[in-house]
Amino acid sequence: MWFVDQATITVHAGDGGRGCAAFSQPPYTRAPYPDGGNGGDGGDVLIAADHNIATLLDFQFRHEFRGGRGGHGSGNNRTGRCGADCVIRVPAGTLIKDRTSGELLRDLRRANERVTVAAGGRGGVGNANASEAQPGGEGERRELLLELKLIADVGLVGFPNAGKSSLLARISTAKPKIASYPFTTRYPVLGVVRLDPERVFVACDIPGLIEGAHAGRGLGFQFLRHIERTRILVHVVDCAGEEHGEPAAAFARLNEELAAYSPALAARPQVVAANKMDLPDARDRLDGLRAALGRDVHPISCATGYGVPELMEEVWRTLSALAPSGQQA
């Protein structure tokens, strides 16, 4: 699967139909009179959020979208048909920007939200309604930048091989790829976590970050935007220190990367999960990690499931203490 989260498209609304110049002279009348009808309006181009779409992959192969042209007016004061609207479907969470000005036109956060991005041209007036027939107006033409930011309640962050994908697979029905080499996760993965029928939230696993990620190193940088919308972060730490050294130092380095990318993101509430408690080295380092951070640390093992239910309860308590997701920036 390709995960595509940016695309550039061109939209062109339909032109309005021409007004008709026609005259009618019924029998037994002295002079003809104008009876040309109006042209139909051109079709708009709209963008709609669809919960059945996950990425912007379709726009890698199709870049131009057009609304239907309005029909021309005709005699006997007949109005031309209106052009068909063109509806472009994108994932919920897509930002729509004017590529030329950089203006944000709309942030489609919820399924079924839609916005008109190019208005169709008005139909021309026929000579039955004006002194002379007029041509139809041109439809708007625009270049747009589409940028997807996934919407999730919880973002799982950590260095490569810390256990983020394993945690997501254990707490949800998501099936992220899990392997022992770095950057196994190539694109963000969403999973729905159900603690019980009344307590449900969405978690997002992003590719592992490395030092310098905020400056474009590694795979994580291009996906950091996907945790900007999350309400809290679960920081998964490799407590065994197998690849990234002492857990406390690794924790500090990753938070520095988050702060360099976005201070607001680094200030998001965090729950710390010390993973790999099934390994002796991790158990030996746990007390040192707690002392160094001076905060609660939740020991877990994604391999065995140890501590995961307690971690999820803490995640839910943290979420419940925040404003509803609809109020989250």
126-139 burial code (b ≥16 CB/10 A, e <16): bbbbeeebbbbbeb
Cβ distance 256 to 242 under 8 Å? no
Determine the Cα–Cα distance for residues 97 and 103; give it in Å rounded to an integer. 5
More confident site: 116 or 54:
116
Tens-digit pLDDT profile for residues 224-254: 777 788 899 999 999 987 667 789 998 998 8
Q: Which domains does the chain have, with CATH numbers?
A: 6-148 (2.70.210.12), 154-327 (3.40.50.300)
Q: Which of 174, 199, 226, 213 is nearest to 55 (CA)?
A: 226
The confidence score (pLDDT) of residue 296 equals 92
State the average pLDDT over residues 110-133. Answer: 94
240: tokens are 């065994």
Cβ distance 111 to 47 under 8 Å? no
Q: How many CB atoms lie within 10 A of CB 10?
A: 15
Cβ distance 144 to 90 under 8 Å? no
Tens-digit pLDDT profile for residues 39-67: 999 999 999 999 888 888 889 889 999 99
pTM confidence score: 0.72
State in Å, rounded, how far the first CA of the chain is from the last one. 30
Q: Which of 133, 11, 18, 17 is nearest to 82 (CA)?
A: 17
Tens-digit pLDDT profile for residues 251-307: 998 888 888 888 888 889 999 999 999 998 888 889 999 999 999 999 999 999 999
pLDDT for residue 108 is more than 50: yes
SS3 letters across the chain: CCCCCEEEEEEECCCCCCCCCCEECCCCCCCCEECCCCCCCCCCEEEEECCCCCCCHHHHCCCEEECCCCCCCECCCECCCCCCCEEEEECCCEEEEECCCCCEEEEECCCCCEEEEECCCCCCCCCCCCCCCCCCCCCCEEEEEEEECCCCCEEEECCCCCCHHHHHHHHCCCCCCCCCCCCCCCCCEEEEEEEECCEEEEEEECCCCCCCHHHCCCCCHHHHHHHCCCCEEEEEEECCCCCCCCHHHHHHHHHHHHHHHCHHHHCCCEEEEEECCCCHHHHHHHHHHHHHHCCCCEECCCCCCCCHHHHHHHHHHHHHCCCCHHHCC
The confidence score (pLDDT) of residue 327 equals 40
